[in-house]
Amino acid sequence: MKIIISFTFLLLLSCVTSTQIQIQTTKSVFNLGKQITFSREKGNCLACHEIENGEFPGNIGPALKNLPTRFKNKQQLREQIWDATQSNPETSMPPFGKHKIISEDEIDQVVDYLWGLK
Ligand code: HEC
């Protein structure tokens, strides 16, 4: 009996810690994505786009919010950031992936961050 109780306790404990770790990683991916999006050396997306909590945004492009209503899925959003000239050859938005302005991983982080903005 004692063994069963302590086993259940351990199981519960491990569940709690693993959810906590998960929440932490989700949060840090979010922050990293935000950093890349806002940083002048990286995405500098604020130069042209209004983004939640971003100071002094430009308005050359549309506000980046509610993106799940604009794109079918994250992959499609990723393609827009990787090479915006695919959807509009005349666009002023730099092809971040194609021209290696930011890395593939950084694009993923930006996508994860933007996808969650309301
Ligand atoms: C030099 C200006 C400029 C910069 C910098 C820029 N964009 Fe854009 N972006 C645009 C313009 C203009 C559009 C409008 C669509 C077009 O031109 O095809 C656009 C469109 C978009 C769209 C589509 C939005 C929609 O609702 O259709 C997304 C998503 C986007 N940009 C993300 C980004 C991200 C992420 C960054 C930074 C990594 C970024 N942009 C940097 C100019 C820019």
Residue type, 86: Q
Give the pair of three-digit tokens for residue 69: 């209503």
Query: What is the average pLDDT across 26-30?
Result: 76
Q: At CA 77, angle to CA 31 and CA 102, rounded to 5?
A: 55
**Using CA atoms, how far apart are residues 102 and 8, in angstroms rounded to an integer?**
47
Could you tell me which residue, 43 or 16, shows the higher pLDDT?
43
Question: Closest residue (by CA) to atom 37 of ligand 1?
Answer: 45
Ligand 1 site, residue 107, Cβ cutoff 6 A: no
- Alpha-carbon distance of 69 to 4, in angstroms, equals 49
Tell whether ligand 1 has an atom less than 6 A from the beta carbon of residue 39.
Answer: no
- Ligand 1 midpoint to CA 49 (Å): 7
**What is the rounded radius of gyration, in angstroms, for the C-alpha atoms of the chain?**
19
Ligand 1 atom nearest 45 alpha carbon: 37
Q: How far does Cα 88 stand from its chain's mean position?
A: 23
Condensed to tens digits (0 to 9), the pLDDT of residues 33-71 reads 999 999 999 999 999 999 999 999 999 999 999 999 999
- 34 Cβ closer than 6 Å to some ligand 1 atom: no
Confidence of residue 73 (pLDDT cuts 50, 70, 90): very high
Check residue 107 and give its pLDDT: 98
Residue 92, ligand 1, Cβ within 6 A? yes
What was the pLDDT predicted at 18? 66
The pLDDT > 70 percentage for the chain reads 81
Mean per-residue pLDDT, 75-99 = 98
Q: Is 44 left (phi over 0), alpha (psi -120 to 50) or beta?
A: left
CA of 61 to the centre of ligand 1 (A): 5
Nearest to 83 by CA among 93, 74, 75, 73: 93
